[in-house]
Structures are given as structure tokens and as C-alpha cells.
């Protein structure tokens, strides 16, 4: 069973379109994240959700709207796609634990290409 699964794996679309990426985790974690990895391979946090509530929003344009219908799901909707949105988007989850034992588990990524 895949712990953190994202769909689709690849997404090719035209500028100006709206698209969504879905993420699900079956680990029972209460925190989920979206990260963006650009062409220079820099991995940057976008959003963090804890128990369906937005905790971190790293000055991401409001064309990006995350939605967490429940603790196990975190989706990312992107409006009016731009060329600069081309990147790999990773979903991750973790469980808040005492003693710093908070491992991040990542999905396999969604490669978004905007033409």
C-alpha cells in the first residue's frame, strides 16, 4: 500500500488553464504539506495543513488554492496556469509527536508542464 499517493503523476496543459492535483495519505497523520521543486531542484514549502486547517502559507500566489476535505486528503487547485508554474509538486504528511520524531513522508510527485 502506498503511504502518500498523488495523482496525476504527469500533467501537461496550456497556459491559462485550471488544473488540480490530488493527494491522499493512509498513515493516519494529522499534518499534510505541498512542496514545489523547480527546475533548479530547489524544494520549497508552499502550504501546511493540520487537521484540515491551513497553518502555513508561504506567500504563494492566490491562484493556488489548497483544500483539505479531511485529514487524509489535501488537494491543490491551480487557476490560470503560467509557464513559471512548471515544476514537480510533492505532497507530504507527518504526525506531530513529542521528542521531535516527526518524519515527513513524501508522495512520488506530480510533474506539471505548462506550455
Partner 1 sequence: DAKTTQPTSMDCAEGRAANLPCNHSTISGNEYVYWYRQIHSQGPQYIIHGLKNNETNEMASLIITEDRKSSTLILPHATLRDTAVYYCIATTSGTYKYIFGTGTRLKVLA
Q: Which residues bind partner 1 (CB under 8 A)?
A: 4, 31, 33, 35, 41-45, 48, 50, 55-56, 58, 88, 90, 92, 96-109, 111
* Smallest distance, partner 1 to C-beta of residue 80, A: 26
* Smallest distance, partner 1 to C-beta of residue 32, A: 10
CA-CA distance, 51 to 30, in Å (whole number)?
A: 5
φ, ψ at 74 (rounded to 5°): -145, 115
* Smallest distance, partner 1 to C-beta of residue 9, A: 11
Residue nearer to partner 1 on the CB measure, 14 or 40: 40
Q: Pull the grid cell for residue 86.
A: 512548471
CA-CA distance, 87 to 68, in Å (whole number)?
A: 22
Amino acid at each position: 500500500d502506498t503511504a502518500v499517493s498523488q495523482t496525476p503523476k504527469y500533467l501537461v496543459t496550456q497556459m491559462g488553464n485550471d488544473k488540480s492535483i490530488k493527494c491522499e495519505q493512509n498513515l493516519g497523520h494529522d499534518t499534510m504539506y505541498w512542496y514545489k521543486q523547480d527546475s533548479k531542484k530547489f524544494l520549497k514549502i508552499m502550504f501546511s495543513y493540520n487537521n484540515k486547517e491551513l497553518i502555513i502559507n508561504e506567500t504563494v500566489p492566490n491562484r493556488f488554492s489548497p483544500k483539505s476535505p479531511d485529514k487524509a486528503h489535501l488537494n491543490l487547485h491551480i487557476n490560470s496556469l503560467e509557464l513559471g508554474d512548471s515544476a514537480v509538486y510533492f505532497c507530504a504528511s507527518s504526525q506531530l509527536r513529542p521528542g521531535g520524531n516527526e518524519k515527513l513522508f513524501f508522495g512520488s510527485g506530480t510533474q506539471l508542464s505548462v506550455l
